[in-house]
Structure formats: C-alpha cells, structure tokens
Structure 1
Amino acid sequence: MSTLPQTAGWLEGDVALVTGGGSGIGKAVALRYLAEGAKVVILGRDQDKLDEVIAGSPAAQNMLGIAADVRDSEALQHAVGRTVEHFGKLDTLVPNAGIWDFNRSITRLSAQELSDSFDELFSINVKGYLLTVQAAWPELVKSRGNVVMTLSNASFHTAGGGPVYTASKFAARGLVNQLAYELAPKVRVNGVAVGGMNTDLRGPESIGLSGRSIADSFARSTITGNNPLIPLHDASVDPTDFTGSYVLFASRRNSGNITGQIIQADGGIAIRGFGDKAAGGDAL
C-alpha cells in the first residue's frame, strides 16, 4: 500500500512571538503555529499561566514563555532579545494581548470611569501593539518577516463592544495599514478580525471588570445566536477554529505578496449584525 508523502507545516523552521499567549486566541495561535512547524515564544503577565501552556504542549522544547506587560517598552525589548537569543531569529510577531469593555455604553460610565477605562484600554489594545512592533521590527527586517495583528469584528462594525473598545479596535485597524506602509517592502503587516469566541478575555481593572471574562459572562447561545455559520460549524466559537488565517498570513510561501490586509474571521457576524445586543440597549 502506498502512502502519501509527509509534508512540512506551513511555518516549518520559523520563529514566532505571540503576546497574550497564555490563554484564548493567543494560546490557540501559539499552539497552531507550533503544529505548523514553528518555534514559539508566548508573552503574558502571568508566568505560571505561560508555563502551564508550555507544559501541556506537544513540543515544549520548541516553546518559551516570557512574563511581561505590553505597556512596558523595556520588557518588550528584553522579550525580543531573549527570543532571538533562544531561537536565533524572529519571523512572525503576533500583537494580540488585549482587554474588552463588556459593551459598557457611554450612558453607563461616569466621566471619571470613561477617562480611566479609556487610558487603560488604549494603553493595552493600541499602545501595546505599537510598542510590541517597535521592539520587534529590526529583527523582522533581518528575517524578511511579518506581523499578524489580532483585530475584532468591532474594528469594522458597531456593538461588538462599547465606544472605548470599538475606538481601540478601529485604531488597531489603522495600524495595520500604516505599519504595512512604513515597514514595506521587508516586513508584511496584516490582521485578523475575529468574532466572538469562548475565551478568558477580561475587562478593564479601572472600572472593576478585570475579574470578569467572556467565558463566565456569556452563554454559548448568546455568542452563537448572531453567527450565521454556527448551525453548520458548531465549534467556531472555540479559539482554535480562528487560527487558520493567522497561519496563512505568517506563511511566506502562501501570502508572501500580501500586506495591509485584514481577514474578517467573524463567522458571518458582519452580515447579520447584533440586533438588540447593541451597547446602549434600553439605557436611554
């Protein structure tokens, strides 16, 4: 009996750094990259959580966990240096660490809460992305590498969050375009705008939402009710099912001529909308 030839993964021999890699879509992307042949560094604020991900991976020797906050530029510079020291180079950067505002409407925020949540959320979701790219771009130039940013359906549409989160994701969408322009031709920059999924994504500490996660707060039916593909693709609220677009963008062989593009991997939310799930609801 003949057998099919064994083929290498799409990212064989590459090295990737994923922020927010201790849970959710960051963890899923890191493990998918590992399965595609890459060596992967995961970055997050909780070293124990990172160590747990690595211990449970099928190739722990090809992973490294680094505790750092994406708001700390020196820590990010150190993380990139350790990545190169440990694995020899950096091919793919995934700015992914973020927080959500749990659809907190402007009608439900005091002036101080609005100011504080804006500062915290933008410092992670926007400045964190910029600082991460700033730390990594010289190494990406050397490898002719790429950046794959995690965006959201809220980067394009209303009601995927409140005004603060939506503004942050529109800003990150702008970063894809601007950084693709600035870093061409040596570094490609693309994004994946994911839809609602079952993750541990948390809220701003400044308004008391850091202990709340999407997984705890929303039933599966709440997320899937707006998703046209769910009836046929029931697992598509699992982060693992969002990782294919990240692999495509990271692959030189399969997307070496693509930059400044965003895949809306939202399960079809954009064509159905959120209906009465809007942030304001009946607040007025």
Structure 2
Amino acid sequence: MTGWLDGRRALVVGAGSGIGRAVVDAFLSEGARVAVLERDEAKCAKLSAAIPGLPVVAGDATTRGANEAAVDATVAAYGGLDVLVSCVGIFDFYQGIAELPVERIDEAFDEMFRVNVKSHLHSVKAALPQLRRHGGSVILTESTSAYYPGRGGVLYVGSKFAVRGLVTAMAHELAPDVRVNGVAPGGTLNTDLRGLDSLGLREKRLDDTPGREAELAGRVPLRVALSGADHAWSYVFLASNRARGITGDVVHPDGGIGVKA
C-alpha cells in the first residue's frame, strides 16, 4: 500500500509542537521525507531524539538566513523540495483595540506581523526556486479567526487576514508552477501557542486555559475539540496529488463553526 505523499520532500516550518509537530508525523506516515525549521532549541532536541535522521534546523523563521539554511538542509538530505508547510504563529489573547495600550501598539504590531506574516514571506521566498523546479506546493496556516468574529484580538485577527491575502496573491502569481493553499484550523488542543512578548504574554499558553476542551467542543456544531493530529490531515490532502487542481483555496477543520445557528 502506498502513502498519499510517497516520494514528496517536505519542509515544515514551526514543527516543534502543536499542529506543526502533528504535520511532521502525518507526512512521515504517508511516505514523505521531511525536514524541519524550529526556533526553540529544546524542541529541536526532542524532534531529533524522537525521529533519528530527521534534518532539523534551529532558527528563527522570521529571518532570511534561517529559512535559507532550512531549504539548503532539505535539499542536501533529499535532493530537492516539493512541499513547504508553515505553522508559525503567536497569539494576542483576545485583546481588542479598546484595551490595547497605546504605548504598546507599535511594538506589538511589529511583533505580531513579523511572526505571523513575514515568516511566511521568508519561507516561501527561500523555497521558491526548488518549488518551481519540482512543481511544488505551499500550505500556510491561516485560522478560523480570520473568518468568524471573536476568535482573537485585533492584532491576531488582522495578521490572519493578511495570511489569507498571501495565499490568494501567491496562488495567482505562482500558477501554474506552484500551488498555494491554506488551512484554517479552529481552536486546537495540545498547542504551545503563546502570547506576544511585547504585551507581556510570552509565558501564557492558549492550551492552559481552564476547561478548554469542553469550551472548544461546546462552541461548534460537531461538538468536537480538535487536536493538531486532526488538523494535520488537511495538510496531507493539500500536499498530495489528489489536490492537484486546487490552489488559492483553504480547508476549514473547525468543527463546522460556519454553520453555527
């Protein structure tokens, strides 16, 4: 039996935990050869210990150098690159414009958009020559927050709308050589999504919210609290040849929030 991703060479950015880590496991299970870029060195060490032989690059995805090093490592290990996945992100814990301190706006805006938007630009730019050469695929992580109100603060929602724009703009620009799509997960269990340093939220984890599983299940029609492992299969589909006619689109693994009464 063959896997959906047999022969595909993938780079997963932000692969140390949560959805990114689940994507690594799902891609490997479907026959892909995977390399990763992850900022947290402790998470890099855990990845290397858990998956011997996995090319792991420790670096900041918001920088050109780290992305170029990760692409180079992928090509050195596997001879090319077919699929780029980015799961990088930070959160603002629902801070609206009314409560956002005016003296923090500049710094918080720069941090949010550097991580949640600019990182994608650097990743795609670094991978683009390889993706064009091999007829590749890009999958960026959007969020249900960019489609339905109340699922993030003003900066987070704004940044995820920007990712929607990146998917649309790059899908148009890079066709027919490269497909570009998004996955917009709903609320996710077992994530290490953290807050902005500039707002004093760096040590706050969304997954530490009391009663989170019940809250997530209670707000969607399917009454499910989804994990990174659930979301990962949307990435597998979009990376596979079964999605060869899809670009500029998005998959919504969100428990059906769009049909909520």
Paired position in structure 2 for 1:204: 196
Structure 1 distance, partners of 2:92, 2:257, is 19
Q: Does 1:92 align with 2:83?
A: yes
Report the TM-score when normalising by structure 1.
Answer: 0.88
Paired position in structure 1 for 2:18: 24
Paired position in structure 1 for 2:238: 249
How many residues of Structure 1 are paired with residues of Structure 2 in the alignment? 259
Structure 2 distance, partners of 1:151, 1:137, is 20
Paired position in structure 2 for 1:177: 168
Q: Does 1:109 align with 2:100?
A: yes
Paired position in structure 2 for 1:271: 259
Report the TM-score when normalising by structure 2.
Answer: 0.95
Deviation at 1:178, TM superposition (A): 0.4
**Per-residue displacement from partner, 1:94-150 (whole Å, max 9, x unpaired)?**
121110111111121111222221110100101111111011111101111100111
Q: Which runs of 5+ in 2 are unaligned?
A: none
Among candidates 3, 7, 13, match of residue 7 of structure 2: 13
Structure 1 distance, partners of 2:114, 2:197, is 12
Amino acid at match of 2:245: N
Amino acid at match of 1:246: Y
Amino acid at match of 2:94: N
Deviation at 1:38, TM superposition (A): 0.6
Q: Does 1:128 align with 2:133?
A: no
The 8 Å contact of residues 47 and 65 in structure 1, kept in 2 or not, is answered as no
Specify the structure having the higher radius of gyration (Cα).
1
Amino acid at match of 1:187: V
Paired position in structure 1 for 2:147: 156
SS of residue in 2 equivalent to 1:223: helix
Percent identical pairs in the alignment equals 42
Deviation at 1:77, TM superposition (A): 1.1
Q: List, as ranges, runs of 4+ consecutive aligned residues in structure 1 with deviation greater than 4 Å.
A: none
SS of residue in 2 equivalent to 1:80: helix
The 8 Å contact of residues 36 and 70 in structure 2, kept in 1 or not, is answered as no
**Per-residue displacement from partner, 1:39-66 (whole Å, max 9, x unpaired)?**
1112111122122134224xx33x2211
**Per-residue displacement from partner, 1:227-263 (whole Å, max 9, x unpaired)?**
2212xxx4x42110111111111002x0111111111
Structure 2 distance, partners of 1:271, 1:114, is 34
The 8 Å contact of residues 37 and 67 in structure 2, kept in 1 or not, is answered as no
Among candidates 202, 208, 216, match of residue 216 of structure 1: 208
Paired position in structure 1 for 2:34: 40
Structure 1 distance, partners of 2:227, 2:175, is 33
Cα RMSD over matched residues? 1.3
Q: Which runs of 5+ in 1 are unaligned?
A: 1-6, 274-284
